[in-house]
Amino acid sequence: MMEILGEERLAAVLRHAEAGQLSARSWAYWHYRLGLAAPGEMPPLPQRRGA
Q: In the chain, where are the structural domains located?
A: 2-33
**Torsion on CA atoms 3, 28, 32, 9, rounded to nearest 10:** 40
Average pLDDT over every residue of 24-47: 93
Distance of CA 25 to the CA centre of its chain: 10
In angstroms, what CA-CA distances link 43 with 3, 13, 36, 40?
Answer: 25, 14, 9, 9
5-17 confidence digits (pLDDT tens): 999 999 999 999 9
Going by C-alpha positions, the residue among 49, 33, 50 that lies closest to residue 13 is 33
- pTM of the predicted model, to two decimals? 0.82
